[in-house]
């Protein structure tokens, strides 16, 4: 009997040890599993190279300045986008150049019966598969005529913002402005199964609205999951509107357009500051990666500025395509400073998926630059950049040389902040070649002195153009008239 009791005690003791070992092992596994980072992507609209205070000290953007600089920030000094809004946004979310998507020709208009083809997956869809909560606030502008084109059908759990490209900052729609013969509200509160127009924000300044909506989404998010927030500001796109309180720091600027523009930058900067403050309040900041970019160069006709770069929004000059961009993260950026490698808007797809833990070298037309951003790794370097291919107009950079073919667009001058946009004389040539490494301001055309380089790049462009897709834009369709949808630019009609 004593032997049996002793054996039972030993068995119980062994079982207890086994339970402790299993618990310990599973606990160790749990601790070893890294928590995925939260990701916030902030996209400014029409913010030019010279439209931040570390490039133009007459402006006021202290929150952005703080995020862009320091030991946990990486400035992407050669970050490029398309020259216009919709092409850039389609490239960002899909990972493909616009000429591969069919969006290369321009922006999507109100009542246009088309959108980015749904056969292209957007990276927020992949993040959802990774367990992320995905939220979007602000400007969509890549197609809205049917529900499958909308944010909450393309990877976002929630959306608060507007579908189209231009609207009043207070009325949140087009209302008897600029001679258009259609008017309506364009502000929405969407989930994958519900699409509701929201008239409650009427007369509220959009930059403040988007900051408040972002804060709400952060507060409502389940902290057990990582999140991705895409905050696409309306600012600083025209019309030129800014509350007086944001103009106080801009009173020293004499030119009215630039002074109001300064106020719009100030408003956006304070909105960014509010979102970052909320991240800290909620204990989310340390594990968050914050990305900032613009969708194209500044519009010098509406107060923006790209000096000393040449050109303007909607041009293939550097001023239309090279933008301010940086990444900030107290936990994940281990080597701060400037990154001088070529970076394209299409690279964000693979780079953001890599941030989420997916192992990949690239996707679509883009590459994974997360190692370069995080620790200044030299593992990979982009050798070629396609600015755009649109019919007879195109531009490509390979190595140090940039070739432009066709009409690069106007204004084409080097506009200072004190000047309004200048149109310049008509072009008398259709091919330009620049050595961007030595001539980033595009002052010296080399097309006549380096014919072999021109011919080599022309052949490359010809081969690249052959891989393109036809333009998907279509004429406006009366089926989308707001009169049919209670005065709103609604979806579900194409």
Q: Which member of 141, 172, 221, 237 is catalytic? A: 141
Catalytic residue among 85, 164, 250, 262: 85
Residue bearing tokens 């701060």 = 336
8 is catalytic: no
Cα–Cα distance for residue pair 454/459, rounded to 1 Å: 9
Distance CA 187, CA 242 (A): 19
Give dist(CA 230, CA 439) in Å, integer: 35
351 vs 336: CA distance, rounded Å:
17
Q: Is 494 a catalytic residue?
A: no
Point out the residues that are catalytic: 85, 141
């Amino acid at each position: 009997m004593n032997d049996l009791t002793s054996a039972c005690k030993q068995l119980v003791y062994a079982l207890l040890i086994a339970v402790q070992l299993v618990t310990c092992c599973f606990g160790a596994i749990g601790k070893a599993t890294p928590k995925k980072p939260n990701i916030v992507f902030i996209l400014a609209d029409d913010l030019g190279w010279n439209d931040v205070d570390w490039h133009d000290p007459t402006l006021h953007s202290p929150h952005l300045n703080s995020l862009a600089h320091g030991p946990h920030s990486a400035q992407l000094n050669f970050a490029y986008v398309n020259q216009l809004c919709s092409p850039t946004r389609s490239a960002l979310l899909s990972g493909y150049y616009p000429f591969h998507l069919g969006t290369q020709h321009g922006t999507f208009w109100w009542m246009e019966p088309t959108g980015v083809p749904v056969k292209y997956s957007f990276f927020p869809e992949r993040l959802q598969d990774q367990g992320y909560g995905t939220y979007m606030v602000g400007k969509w502008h890549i197609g809205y005529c049917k529900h499958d084109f909308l944010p909450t059908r393309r990877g976002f759990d929630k959306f608060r913002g507007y579908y189209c490209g231009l609207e009043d900052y207070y009325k949140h729609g087009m209302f008897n402005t600029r001679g258009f013969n259609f008017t309506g509200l364009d502000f929405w509160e969407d989930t994958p199964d519900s699409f509701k127009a929201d008239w409650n924000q009427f007369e509220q300044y959009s930059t403040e609205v988007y900051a408040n909506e972002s804060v709400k989404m952060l507060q409502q998010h389940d902290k057990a999951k990582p999140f991705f927030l895409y905050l696409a500001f309306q600012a600083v796109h025209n019309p030129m509107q800014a509350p007086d309180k944001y103009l106080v720091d801009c009173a020293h600027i004499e030119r009215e357009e630039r002074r109001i523009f300064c106020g719009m930058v100030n408003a956006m900067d304070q909105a960014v500051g509010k979102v970052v403050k909320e991240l800290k309040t909620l204990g989310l900041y340390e594990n968050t990666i914050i990305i900032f970019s613009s969708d194209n160069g500044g519009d010098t006709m509406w107060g923006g500025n790209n000096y000393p770069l040449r050109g303007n929004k909607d041009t293939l000059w550097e001023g239309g395509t090279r933008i301010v961009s940086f990444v900030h993260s107290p936990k994940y950026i281990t080597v701060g400073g400037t990154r001088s490698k070529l970076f394209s808007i299409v690279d964000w797809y693979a780079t953001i998926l890599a941030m989420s833990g997916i192992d990949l070298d690239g996707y679509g037309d883009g590459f994974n630059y997360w190692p370069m951003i995080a620790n200044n790794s030299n593992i990979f370097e982009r050798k070629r950049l396609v600015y755009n291919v649109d019919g007879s107009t195109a531009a490509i950079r390979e190595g140090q040389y940039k070739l432009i073919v066709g009409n690069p667009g106007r204004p084409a001058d080097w506009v200072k902040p004190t000047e309004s946009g200048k149109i310049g004389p008509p072009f008398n040539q259709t091919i330009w070649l620049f050595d961007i490494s030595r001539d980033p301001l595009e002052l010296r055309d080399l097309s006549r002195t380096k014919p072999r380089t021109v011919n080599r790049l022309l052949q490359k462009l010809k081969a690249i153009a052959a891989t393109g897709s036809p333009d998907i834009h279509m004429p406006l369709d009366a089926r989308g008239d707001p009169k049919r949808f209670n005065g709103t630019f609604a979806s579900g009609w194409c």
